[in-house]
């Protein structure tokens, strides 16, 4: 195990939050897969980029209030980050390759990095009651799980949103959209909304919310089909971060610290969730890394939200990222922040060379950290 500390941190990011330990060839796997990971540290209010280049690991951070879901738009070279506060805000960061620097207007104080640069280009503000969790591009439109009101919304270019998908059981009247019944929280992106899938903590509009004390979320979690709008898999516990990889729907069965998949090869058969790995953390955030791995985020369990994690010992949970072999389910490598807390999402950034953030959202140039470690 190797331990490093992130130097030159933003003043709001403490040394305790930034120290990390690695096991296995974490940086080598990212480098050989030509992948950079973006990780949203939800309750610590920052996003961190992780990667390896030329045998050296590095990371870059930026402060964003309560970052949750993220999406890397390959065609537009944009990282989109949802900030789930009241109000909700979506931040769009454009990737500049080194050859682009001379054609862009950059802050005078910007110190050009050794690789590419992510600069904030625009933002969209939406009402806080929408309680945005996951975001994703489907074709040319941006969609978000409007968790506070149980639907998938299309974010409109001119501002606002359009309700485009919801579970079938809400078809009768408007009442079902007035409060959060399901904790609808992730989008497994297909070619269309119909070919996508969605996770939720429950599919019931009756009684207490499934994560409240005295009721509990154990095995009440579900996966919805975009096409039928019905449940296709039950028995999960606080599922998150569904992602389509080939014929498998990968997801986090978060309440048990598990990562697993649903084989979609024959949709006419009964579909079952298969766990491939259990970790010492609340699993949340999942992304493909190259042809062989997935990266999964781990979070410490918040004491007051222990009902979310009936299958975990809160005292033993950790904050970090694990790399899992997709064929064997074995943990190939890991990075743990001993002083870290909560991760919401993990996204793979491709077609990038050691990218860094240019400056922080609060407008103070130089507040982004970028460091190689030898």
- Residue 363 pLDDT: 38
Structure tokens at 85: 């506060």
pTM metric for this prediction: 0.91
Q: Which residue has the tokens 């968790």?
A: 147
85 vs 66: CA distance, rounded Å: 7
Contact between 30 and 52 under an 8 Å Cβ cutoff? The reply is yes
Q: Which tokens belong to 158?
A: 């001119």
Does residue 260 contact residue 274 with C-beta atoms inside 8 Å? yes
| Contact residues for 109 (Cβ-Cβ < 8 A; gap 6+) | 359, 365, 366
pLDDT tens digits, one per residue of 338-366: 999 999 999 999 888 888 887 543 333 33
- The CATH number given to 2-372 is 2.120.10.30
Q: Residues near 34 by Cβ (< 8 Å), separated by ≥ 6?
A: 290, 350
Which pLDDT belongs to residue 111? 59
Q: What is the pLDDT of residue 367?
A: 40
Q: Exposed, middle or buried, 90 (CB in 10 Å: 0-12/13-18/19+)?
A: buried
pLDDT of 9 reads: 42
Report whether 46 contacts 94 (CB < 8 A): no
Domains in the chain: boundaries: 2-372
| Weakly modelled stretches of the chain, pLDDT under 70 | 1-15, 101-113, 174, 207-208, 210-215, 359-374
């Amino acid at each position: 195990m190797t331990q490093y500390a992130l130097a030159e941190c933003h003043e709001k990011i403490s040394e305790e939050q930034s120290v990390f330990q690695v096991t296995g060839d974490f940086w080598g796997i990212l480098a050989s897969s030509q992948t950079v990971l973006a990780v949203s540290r939800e309750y610590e209010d920052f996003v961190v980029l992780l990667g390896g280049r030329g045998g050296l690991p590095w990371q870059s951070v930026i402060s964003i209030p309560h970052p949750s879901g993220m999406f890397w738009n390959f065609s537009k070279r944009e990282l989109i980050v949802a900030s789930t506060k009241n109000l909700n805000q979506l931040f769009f960061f454009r990737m500049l390759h080194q050859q682009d620097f001379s054609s862009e207007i950059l802050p005078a104080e910007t110190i050009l990095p050794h690789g590419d640069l992510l600069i904030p280009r625009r933002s969209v503000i939406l009402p806080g009651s929408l309680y945005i969790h996951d975001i994703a591009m489907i074709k040319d439109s941006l969609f978000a799980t409007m968790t506070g009101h149980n639907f998938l919304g299309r974010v409109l270019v001119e501002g606002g949103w359009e309700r485009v998908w919801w579970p079938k059981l809400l078809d009768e009247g408007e009442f079902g959209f007035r409060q959060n019944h399901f904790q609808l929280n992730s989008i497994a992106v297909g070619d269309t909304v119909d070919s996508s899938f969605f996770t939720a903590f429950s599919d019931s509009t009756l009684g207490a919310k499934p994560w409240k004390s005295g009721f509990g979320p154990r095995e009440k979690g579900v996966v919805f089909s975009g096409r039928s709008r019905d449940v296709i898999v039950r028995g999960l516990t606080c599922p998150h971060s569904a992602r389509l990889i080939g014929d498998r729907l990968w997801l986090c069965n978060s309440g048990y610290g598990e990562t697993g998949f649903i084989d979609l090869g024959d949709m006419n058969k009964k579909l079952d969730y298969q766990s491939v790995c259990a970790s010492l953390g609340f699993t949340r955030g999942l992304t493909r890394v190259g042809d062989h791995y997935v990266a999964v985020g781990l979070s410490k369990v918040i004491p007051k939200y222990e009902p979310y994690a009936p299958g975990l010992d809160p005292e033993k949970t950790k904050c970090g990222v694990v790399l899992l072999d997709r064929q064997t389910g074995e943990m190939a490598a890991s990075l743990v922040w001993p002083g870290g807390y909560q991760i919401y999402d993990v996204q793979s950034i491709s077609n990038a060379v050691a990218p860094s953030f240019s400056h922080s959202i609060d407008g103070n140039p130089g507040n982004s950290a970028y460091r190689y470690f030898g």
